[in-house]
Amino acid sequence: MSLHITSSYPDVRGYSLNQSSMLKHKFTAWGMSAFLCLAMAHCGAPGKTETKEEKPATPEKKYASQPLVSHIYTADPSAHVFDGKIYIYPSHDTATGAPENDNGDHFQMMDYRILSMDSIGGKVTDNGVALSLKDVPWASRQLWAPDAAFANGKYYLYFPAKDKDGIFRIGVATGTSPAGPFKAEPTPIKGTYSIDPCVYTDDDGASYLYFGGIWGGQLQHWNNNRYDSTAQLKKPEETAFLPRVARLSKDMLSLAEPVREVKIVDSTGKLFTEKENDKRFFEAVWLHKYNNKYYLSYSTGDTHNLVYAIGDHPYGPFVYKGLLLKPVDGWTSHHSIVEVGGKWYLFYHDTQLSGKTHLRNVKVLPLQYNADGSIQPMSAFID
Mapped to the 3 state alphabet, what secondary structure does 246-273 carry? EEECCCCCCECCCCEECCEECCCCCECE
Cα-Cα-Cα-Cα dihedral sign, residues 40, 45, 49, 55: negative
Chain mean position to CA 57:
31
Let me know if 350 is a catalytic residue. Answer: no
Residue 153: count of CB within 10 angstroms of its CB: 6
Angle at 139 between CA 284 and CA 227, to 5 degrees: 65
Buried b (16+ CB within 10 A) or exposed e, 237-252: eeebbbbbbbebeeeb
Identify the active-site residue in 147, 196, 283, 329: 283
Identify the active-site residue in 76, 196, 329, 350: 76
| Among the listed residues 173, 172, 174, 110, the one whose alpha carbon sits nearest the alpha carbon of residue 144 | 110
Cis peptide before 181 (omega within 30 of 0): yes
Buried b (16+ CB within 10 A) or exposed e, 19-39: eeeeeeeeeeeeeeeeeeeee
Q: Torsion angle of alpha carbons 203, 145, 359, 140, nearest 10°? A: 160
Length of the chain: 383
Let me know if 283 is a catalytic residue. Answer: yes
Q: Which residues are catalytic?
A: 76, 283
